[in-house]
Chain A
Amino acid sequence: MTTRLDTRFAALAREGRAGFVTYVMAGDPDRETARAILKALPGAGADVIEFGMPFTDPMADGPSVQAAGLRSLHGGQTLKKTLEDIADFRTGDRDTPIVLMGYYNPIYIYGVEKFLADAKAAGIDGLIVVDLPPEEDAELCLPALKAGLNFIRLATPTTDEKRLPTVLGNTSGFVYYVSITGITGAATPDFGKTSEAVARIKKHTALPVAVGFGVKNADHARAVARGADAVVVGSALVDAVKGSLDGEGRATGRTVGAVTDLVASLAAGVRGARQAAE
């Protein structure tokens, strides 16, 4: 079965460039603005979109994503609304792959079977669920694969040679390499080591490898793109949302533009990487 993610990564390979994966939080800073951001991302240069599902207790996220989740929840965002937001996006975009990213509890409470059916119907392509390692595959990963959704796993610097096959086993769509031991938005990684790690993972899988955590600007993006199939940026975009808000934390006329401007500049970094290297 070929999914939207497979198609997109095959096209990127033909173009001979790395892809750009953008992470934004559903419902942040409010539902309408988040929908407008979502719609504007592909035009600004996003090849793949990760849409964050807010959770009260995001144990692998730094202050930026934590705060974005709370803004979203205070605005009344729910998992049902997040699924509707993507269905709305799909009415205007049939090609850009969308991956939902978050934590398991809201999905578990929604009901796994119902969630998978609704996610599929909404036009979602894959899932990244931070607190579901391979040891818990029976919970969601295996049912998701059966439902025709990709399940994207995180590999980290602590995932050694022996464990990699376990982590890659049921992974599909792409592999997300977390470039640091740490939380989102934290330290900037050593990009030399990142390329080595990607090469190490590629010995075990034919899947594309995307690299994220700690990529903050176009220079970082360019450096990562030289040694990876895709670059993921999240906290920097979430910070751009925050930086555009008014004194009461509400969206302003600049909010969507703040995100798309940064996406355009990062996308230029990603796209320029391979030429610059040659």
Chain B
Amino acid sequence: MNAPEKRNSFRSGPDENGKFGIYGGRFVAETLMPNILALERAYNEAKADPAYAAEMAGHLTHYVGRPSPLYFAERLTEHLGGAKIYLKREELNHTGSHKVNNVLGQILLARRMGKKRIIAETGAGQHGVATATLCARFGLECIVYMGAVDVARQAPNVFRMKMLGATVVPVQSGAKTLKDAMNEALRDWVTNVESTFYCIGTVAGPHPYPSMVRDFQSIIGDETREQMQAAEGRLPDSLLACVGGGSNAIGLFHPFLDDPSVEIYGVEAAGHGLDKLHAASISGGRPGVLHGNRTYLLMDEDGQIQEGHSISAGLDYPGIGPEHSWLNDVGRVKYLSATDDEALEAFQLLSKIEGIIPALESAHALAKVAELAPNKPKDHLMVVNLSGRGDKDVPQVAEMLGTSL
């Protein structure tokens, strides 16, 4: 971003090299460099063009269904007996998660750039479904790379993508999950660089993706700010969101980073526990370079990347967006983690007590709400990002609870 640097601001990054402190950057093969520079130019032009913003706003209202409500969770608040809890209802968006906010921005950009072939990587399938949906809406070719293991785990989403006209390519290389899907998408891009737009699903990848995706997701925080003002006449006191790559989290957090009274918590997936198999890059990893940027990663002592494990296929990426790594190091955001079991419990709690089935990803954030809220005063305003709905997770949860469908 070329915004003039504001002193003492947590919102001015990245610098002109795409760095947030030491994190981020453009660690890609030369074949992709000219394309990444062209993407950055095209995005900067689009950002400065009111017609692009107007087109996006129209689709966000009429197709996605924004704004999403900021809902006072009265019974959850009573149950936990502390902070006043609000849910930012991203699960009510078309396609059922926050992913669509980002995909819309990128697809409109691809159209401006004249690209007709769209590729994407997906883990759980939510980003793949959102991409397939918007490609159907705009008549674009859509190829989704998905690890073969995830294809087997997430059959309903695979079928949804196919219904929407996308080609789903099961990735057989490496560990056959999300990171390998991303490798394969990058290989496709290197091969079809002229014709193809790579629609990345989170705030990862080389510059300008982390800041571009953040900008598209920041509508979550912008709306929350206005809605909280309308509901309570003031800023919230704390924010929570789950973190896979970190797009729903940064979308909620970014507009509040320069409000020191707002406590901010990102929740990583602790899987079986931080001393066992997990996907908590910040709590259990260290800085390295993968998929075009420097960030906290899970790896062994020789710098070989390790698989993340989480009950939630949307959180098992072994990295995290570079801006989060920086926000951790400077201390502005606190990164916690929730285990599979804690998430499963929160999944059931919200379903029973509010009549809302959350995505397993979002359930990680809810698990930490259950931990933090009871210790806060009753006038403490806590917002949790309900990044997606849990319909996709019902078969998996049933199996874990010992019910056969």
Task: List residues of A whose CB falls within 8 A of some B CB.
Answer: 55-63, 66, 70, 73, 78-80, 103-110, 130-133, 135-136, 153-160, 163, 167, 178, 181-183, 186
- Contact partner of A154 (CB less than 8 A), chosen from B30, B174, B179, B302, is B30
- Contact partner of A106 (CB less than 8 A), chosen from B27, B179, B302, is B302
**Complex interface: chain B residues within 8 A of A186 (CB):** 191
- With A108-B289, A158-B35 given, is the CB distance from A57 to B174 under 8 Å? yes
- Contact partner of B302 (CB less than 8 A), chosen from A63, A109, A182, is A109
- With A59-B291, A104-B27, A108-B288 given, is the CB distance from A183 to B299 under 8 Å? no
- With A109-B288, A131-B292, A183-B187 given, is the CB distance from A79 to B303 under 8 Å? yes
Q: How far is the CA of A135 from the CA of B28 in the complex (A)?
A: 10
Which 6 pairs show the lowest CB-CB distances between chains A and B? A109-B303, A106-B303, A182-B191, A156-B31, A60-B29, A59-B186
A131 engages B305 (CB within 8 Å)? no
Q: How far is the CA of A163 from the CA of B37 in the complex (A)?
A: 11
Q: Select from chain A the residue with minimum beta-carbon distance to B31.
A: A156
- Contact partner of A181 (CB less than 8 A), chosen from B26, B193, B291, is B193
- With A56-B304, A158-B193 given, is the CB distance from A109 to B30 under 8 Å? no
Shortest beta-carbon distance from A249 to chain B in Å? 16
- Contact partner of A159 (CB less than 8 A), chosen from B28, B34, B302, is B34
Q: How far is the CA of A163 from the CA of B305 in the complex (A)?
A: 32
B33 at the interface (CB under 8 A from A): yes
- Contact partner of A108 (CB less than 8 A), chosen from B29, B180, B187, B303, is B303
Shortest beta-carbon distance from B38 to chain A in Å? 10
- Contact partner of A59 (CB less than 8 A), chosen from B183, B288, B301, is B183
Shortest beta-carbon distance from B405 to chain A in Å? 36
B80 at the interface (CB under 8 A from A): no
**Complex interface: chain A residues within 8 A of B33 (CB):** 133, 135, 158-159, 163
B31 engages A181 (CB within 8 Å)? yes
B226 at the interface (CB under 8 A from A): no
**Complex interface: chain A residues within 8 A of B304 (CB):** 55-56, 73, 106
B183 engages A57 (CB within 8 Å)? yes
B186 engages A109 (CB within 8 Å)? no
Besides the known contacts A109-B299, A158-B31, A182-B190, 16 further A-B residue pairs in the complex with CB atoms under 8 A apart: A56-B305, A59-B187, A60-B187, A105-B289, A106-B304, A109-B288, A131-B289, A133-B29, A135-B33, A156-B29, A156-B30, A158-B33, A158-B35, A159-B34, A178-B30, A182-B31
Q: How far is the CA of A79 from the CA of B173 in the complex (A)?
A: 22
Chain A facing B: main interface SS: loop
A130 engages B289 (CB within 8 Å)? no
**Complex interface: chain A residues within 8 A of B192 (CB):** 181
B221 at the interface (CB under 8 A from A): no
**Complex interface: chain A residues within 8 A of B191 (CB):** 181-183, 186
A105 engages B299 (CB within 8 Å)? yes
- Contact partner of B31 (CB less than 8 A), chosen from A66, A109, A178, is A178
A155 engages B30 (CB within 8 Å)? yes
Q: Select from chain B the residue with minimum beta-carbon distance to A138.
A: B17
Q: How far is the CA of A183 from the CA of B31 in the complex (A)?
A: 10
Shortest beta-carbon distance from A95 to chain B in Å? 30
Shortest beta-carbon distance from A271 to chain B in Å? 29
B258 at the interface (CB under 8 A from A): no
Q: How far is the CA of A132 from the CA of B33 in the complex (A)?
A: 10
B290 at the interface (CB under 8 A from A): yes
**Complex interface: chain B residues within 8 A of A182 (CB):** 31, 190-191
28 A-B pairs in the complex with CB atoms less than 8 angstroms apart: A57-B179, A59-B183, A59-B186, A59-B190, A59-B291, A60-B186, A62-B187, A66-B173, A80-B302, A105-B305, A106-B304, A109-B302, A130-B29, A131-B29, A133-B26, A133-B28, A136-B27, A154-B31, A156-B30, A156-B31, A157-B31, A158-B35, A160-B34, A163-B33, A181-B31, A181-B191, A182-B31, A183-B191
B194 at the interface (CB under 8 A from A): yes
B34 engages A163 (CB within 8 Å)? yes
Q: Select from chain B the residue with minimum beta-carbon distance to A178.
A: B31
Q: Select from chain B the residue with minimum beta-carbon distance to A73.
A: B304
**Complex interface: chain A residues within 8 A of B294 (CB):** 108
**Complex interface: chain A residues within 8 A of B290 (CB):** 57, 105
Shortest beta-carbon distance from B317 to chain A in Å? 12
Shortest beta-carbon distance from A235 to chain B in Å? 14
Most A CB within 10 A of own CB, among B35, B288, B304: B304
- With A57-B290, A63-B173, A178-B31 given, is the CB distance from A109 to B26 under 8 Å? no
Q: How far is the CA of A206 from the CA of B29 in the complex (A)?
A: 23
Chain B positions 25-59 with a Cβ under 8 Å from a chain A Cβ? 25-35
Binary A-proximity of B190-204 (CB < 8 A = 1, otherwise 0): 111110000000000
Most A CB within 10 A of own CB, among B28, B32, B186, B289: B289
Chain B positions 295-329 with a Cβ under 8 Å from a chain A Cβ? 297, 299, 301-305
Q: Select from chain A the residue with minimum beta-carbon distance to B185.
A: A59
Binary A-proximity of B154-190 (CB < 8 A = 1, otherwise 0): 0000000000000000000110000110010011001
**Complex interface: chain B residues within 8 A of A56 (CB):** 174, 304-305
**Complex interface: chain B residues within 8 A of A133 (CB):** 26-30, 33
B303 engages A183 (CB within 8 Å)? no
**Complex interface: chain A residues within 8 A of B301 (CB):** 109
Most B CB within 10 A of own CB, among A73, A110, A182: A182
A59 engages B193 (CB within 8 Å)? no
- Contact partner of A79 (CB less than 8 A), chosen from B30, B289, B302, is B302
**Complex interface: chain A residues within 8 A of B297 (CB):** 105
- Contact partner of A135 (CB less than 8 A), chosen from B26, B29, B193, is B26
Shortest beta-carbon distance from A89 to chain B in Å? 21
